[in-house]
Amino acid sequence: DTGVSQDPRHKITKRGQNVTFRCDPISEHNRLYWYRQTLGQGPEFLTYFQNEAQLEKSRLLSDRFSAERPKGSFSTLEIQRTEQGDSAMYLCASSLNRGVGEQYFGPGTRLTVT
Amino acid sequence: GIQVEQSPPDLILQEGANSTLRCNFSDSVNNLQWFHQNPWGQLINLFYIPSGTKQNGRLSATTVATERYSLLYISSSQTTDSGVYFCAVESSGGSNYKLTFGKGTLLTVNP
């Protein structure tokens, strides 16, 4: 059973550029979450999908952020016109839609905006 | 929203020592998880424990849901236990299953 995977693991971009991250959840998991973690803090919730439906977005997710999960499988998180404040670790997690709702996290994508 | 407080924020131990990490939360929860974040940022699942007691090797955890706290015990600590330990909860008043994290406890185990 493979875990949650994320790509790329590291991304360095210049301010104003667009970036896209990918998350592949555990295969039988139909819930998928994105979190953001800044230095010295715990992860903070960004958005949540159940299958292909995006059911909630945090106020942290400005208009420059968009997430998709076509066909309820992998998900992408895009940040447009990046700002230095977007520098963070972006974490993806997945869980089953029944029974124990334990979330499993991927290795994260570390974004640095210069 | 639900508040999660972890203590202590920092802990330094000698190898072989025991430790207790605490997590207090402000509302009833459906889910409580303990994680260890390694130096590369990966969150490793330690326990799923909304109530009761569990043990896994040198680690054990207890959640007293009625009193809104959870404890993580590490016995005979090793240098590889170093890292940040997070408690995260899913509020029973929510509908989206999101986890709210504490700020973590930074554990350093010296040889």
pLDDT at A28 over 80: yes
Mean pLDDT score, B36-46: 93
Name the phi and psi angles at B51, rounded to 5. -165, 160
pLDDT at B94 over 90: no
- For B:9-28, CB contacts with A below 8 A are none
Q: How many degrees, rounded to 5, is the angle at CA A5 between CA B32 and CA A37? A: 55
Per the DSSP assignment, residues forming a β-bridge with B69 are: B24, B64
What would the pLDDT profile of B63-84 be if each residue is shown by its tens digit?
999 999 999 999 999 999 999 9
With cut-offs at 50, 70 and 90, classify the pLDDT of residue A72. Answer: confident
Of the candidates B9, B17, B3, the one whose C-alpha atom is nearest the C-alpha of residue B79 is B17
Q: Is B99 an 8 Å CB contact of chain A?
A: yes
Q: How many residues does chain B have?
A: 111
pLDDT at A96 over 60: yes
What would the pLDDT profile of A81-92 be if each residue is shown by its tens digit?
999 999 999 999
pLDDT at residue B95 in the model: 66
Mean pLDDT score, A46-57: 92
User: What percent helix, strand, coil does chain B show, rounded to 5?
Assistant: 5, 60, 35
pLDDT at B26 over 80: yes
With cut-offs at 50, 70 and 90, classify the pLDDT of residue B31. Answer: very high
The shortest C-alpha distance from B108 to chain A (Å) reads: 15
Using the beta-carbon criterion (under 8 Å), do A42 and B98 form an inter-chain contact? no
> What residues in A contact B41, CB-CB < 8 Å?
37, 89, 91, 107-108, 110
Give chain A's end-to-end CA distance (angstroms, integer): 37
pLDDT at residue A2 in the model: 80
Tell me the CB-side half-sphere exposure of residue B109, using CA atoms within 13 A: 17
> What residues in B contact A55, CB-CB < 8 Å?
96
Query: Which residues 6+ apart lie within 8 Å of A39 measured at CB?
Result: none
The shortest CB-CB distance from B99 to any of A55, A103, A107 is to A103
- CA dist A8 to A22, A91, A111, B13, Å? 7, 11, 9, 35
Using the beta-carbon criterion (under 8 Å), do A110 and B86 form an inter-chain contact? no
State the Cα–Cα distance between residues B95 and B111, nearest whole angstrom: 45
